[in-house]
Structure 1
């Protein structure tokens, strides 16, 4: 089986364009076009309908790509296995993160990982959670580090194809402009925590749909049968924190974001309800993928790094919290 042919045709199918696929493969457009035509002649079928825009697969092309992706995954699994046999002297892992989580986590993990595996290349992709999951299923990522609430589920179609390993647990906090949260917004017996029902009318800054945090918060408020006052939707937790610091509105973010935004001095920070609202940070990967010793080590290092807080949030309301989700009240 010609692995180059499989890779080239799957790449064209992914980009729906020979020109874009050629750029991604670092070959010329004419060379790729000739390669595809030659492959179609050898196979005796047309794989692409060139009369459509963007380029689309024929029925034969759909079947080819389905089998080709399975073969490429098997080849990738074999490569990982052989890498383990050679004691991991060289190789690569492909890991995905949401952008701001990458900014926070990777600099804390990578030095330890490189010290243990200096010959292993780490290829990093960033994006929204749903896109990272799609890339895992396509075989374009080995795994992704993503947050999930304990009641949140991967959709049914993907649940049978994916599995996960726990990395650490992290608390979410309300971040508000100074003195916006009043006594009536707080839990009666917990002055460090807000009552979600009482704060629903404050102007909230949320991430746009598609982000893991937005999915979690939509579920959280729905579970309390509360409809928050959605004032603004953006794509950055750090920006949401900075907006809160400037007095624009309130937001809910994971502990790590407060440190990244460097806004503790300008905001009030509260737990959500009288018990911590937390989510789990997981390593997500395909059930049918071979999990190499290098990947297992990445998970273990990440878990060790985040078993202790790298910094402490000195929050308002007689409240201190760390980015791992534990808090002292």
Structure 2
């Protein structure tokens, strides 16, 4: 067994197709098909079940994939550690974050990182649903993920980056726009969100961490919101709130970087405020090269 063999099988499983895997691996389809046939013959098992042009994993294939990922993860840890020992200057960093955070996270952190590590490649996986991010880390697709992690995966470790306050965005022309109170510890004027129970709400989808947070908030406050629109874009929701189309939510970190010509009023909400934890998440007991740790420090300084 060699590492190329593992990568070939993983690519076929991921793409569910020989032709797509061949394109991804930059080899010919006949060569990849022959390679798979020889592998299955040598192992005396079928890794895939062929249904038309689809390649579906058998039970044996599922077990193969599980160990293949683990073997490649261990190899990567070894390669990273050796690279760190030799010169600590070459490597690759794969980062996952939500597509909501990427517009400010990438431009604010990558130039600083590349200035320090010009020969370390950095790649971003931007997901529309934050709830997929822990899976990317668990599977070894990325080294770290940055999101509002719920700390419920025994295979992962996390490091707190920031306690983020959740703010309510309201049009400057809203009847309650000037009703906020200054409360110590709140970033914005505070208001009782129950006063907006009859307003239209613009919210995110619940497969996004922001939408999940909003749903939890409504449940805790026993509010059944009148949802006028669902969107995956926090900026879209804020812009609509600024125009008086409804009210919406956002984390303070996002508000730090969003640039709007027509700005809404922001309120702190809760008792006295709603906070969520922003984490950097990585696989438990894995080796983190120095450049990964330095990138995490850059993120901490930025947000």
Relative to the length of structure 1, the TM-score reads: 0.83
Aligned with 2:243 (options 243, 246, 260) = 246
Counterpart position of 2:146: 145
Q: Which moved more, 1:119-128 or 1:262-271?
A: 262-271
* CA deviation vs aligned residue, 1:81-132 (integer Å, no higher than 9, x gap): 1111112121111111111211112212222222222211111110021222
SS in 2 for 1:131: helix
Equivalent in the alignment of 1:165: 159
* Matches of 1:273 and 1:289, distance apart in 2: 38
Match of 2:173 in 1: 179
State the aligned residue count. 299
How many Å separate the matches in 2 of 1:231 and 1:217? 14
Between 282-291 and 252-261, the greater mean CA deviation after superposition: 252-261
Give the aligned partner of residue 321 of structure 1: none
Equivalent residue for 2:56? Answer: 56
Which residue does the alignment assign to 2:224? 227
Q: What do you get for the CA RMSD once the two structures are aligned?
A: 2.4
Report the Cα distance in structure 2 between the residues aligned to 1:279 and 1:264, rounded to whole angstroms.
27
TM superposition shift of 1:212: 1.0
Q: Is the aligned partner of 1:30 residue 2:27?
A: no
Write out per-residue CA displacement over residues 188-222 of structure 1, whole angstroms, 9 at most, x where no aligned residue. 98992221222122111111121111111111221
Matched position secondary structure for 2:7: helix
Structure 2: gaps of 5 or more residues: none
Q: 3-state DSSP class of the match of 1:172?
A: strand
**1:264 to partner: Cα distance:** 6.3
Instruction: Evaluate the alpha carbon distance shift between residue 228 and residue 42 of structure 1 in structure 2; reply closer, same or farther with a 3 A threshold.
Output: same
Q: Which residue of 2 aligns with 1:11?
A: 11
| Unmatched segments (≥5 aa) in structure 1 | 307-329
Q: Distance in 1 between matches of 2:199 and 2:26?
A: 51
Output the CA distance in 2 between the equivalents of 1:251 and 1:229: 12
